Amino acid sequence: MKKIFLFMLALSISAASFAQTKWSVDPMHSFVTFEVKHMGISFVDGSFKKFEGTIDAAKADLTDAKINFTVDVNSINTDVEPRNNHLKTDDFFNAAKFPTMTFVSTSFKKVKDGNYALSGKLTIRDVTKDVVFNVVYGGTAKDQQSNVKAGFNATTTINRLDYNIKYDPTGMGVAKDVKITLNLEFVQAK
């Protein structure tokens, strides 16, 4: 009987170590920001205040992670209300017709130590393109409520014209390249 118990215990520990783990973004400790050059001399920074994301992974190093992320375009904030409103029009995001941006991962490859290359499909407006984010994995820790948290910094640069954002196609006023930075904290499902 003791051998059967030990076998069942070992089997359950093995199964638990290979179980799928789900993580959800913690919006109180996460930020989605962008910066774009203005008139070739300075930068305009902005952020999106509403977003959600999930990670599903079975491996501890997350190399099998499936990542999904959605951003509410109407939550854009550049600290200038007229500019925020302009960015929601058809000149830029057309938030009325395309209220969300989405990202769906296709691979999450470890480059070295805590550095990864996150590849996936980014959809803005009605265009989906392949993008690669450079990711720094900060590790995991438990918070005061014993929730397991994982931290990430992800960056990429896109050409806004690739996504049918045609305002100022010369890039003289608003540059073509937009740097995207995500500082994200995920909480592990219990």
Question: pLDDT of 8-26, one tens digit each?
Answer: 433 343 334 346 899 999 9
Strand partners, 148: 142
Per-residue pLDDT at 60: 82
**How would residue 190 be classed by pLDDT, with cut points 50, 70 and 90?**
confident
Question: Mean of the pLDDT values across residues 69-88?
Answer: 98
Written as one letter, the residue type at 11 is L
Burial class (CB in 10 A: 0-12, 13-18, 19+), 163: buried
Per-residue pLDDT at 79: 97
Domain ranges of the chain: 20-188
Question: Mean of the pLDDT values across residues 58-63?
Answer: 86
Pairing of strands 66-72, 31-38: unpaired
Q: Give the burial string for 106-115 (b: 16+ CB within 10 Å, else e).
A: eebeeeeeee
Burial class (CB in 10 A: 0-12, 13-18, 19+), 69: buried
Residue 17 has phi, psi (to 5 degrees) of -70, -20
Question: Mean of the pLDDT values across residues 30-54?
Answer: 97
DSSP annotation of 89 reads: S
Which one, of 174, 170, 184, 185, lies nearest residue 35 by Cα?
174
**How would residue 61 be classed by pLDDT, with cut points 50, 70 and 90?**
confident
Question: Mean of the pLDDT values across residues 156-179?
Answer: 96
User: What's the CATH architecture for 20-188?
Assistant: Beta Barrel (2.40)
Q: Is the predicted pLDDT of residue 115 greater than 70, yes or no?
A: yes
Which one, of 69, 82, 74, 86, lies nearest residue 47 by Cα?
74
Helix H or strand E segment including 109: strand 100-112
**How would residue 62 be classed by pLDDT, with cut points 50, 70 and 90?**
confident
Written as one letter, the residue type at 13 is I
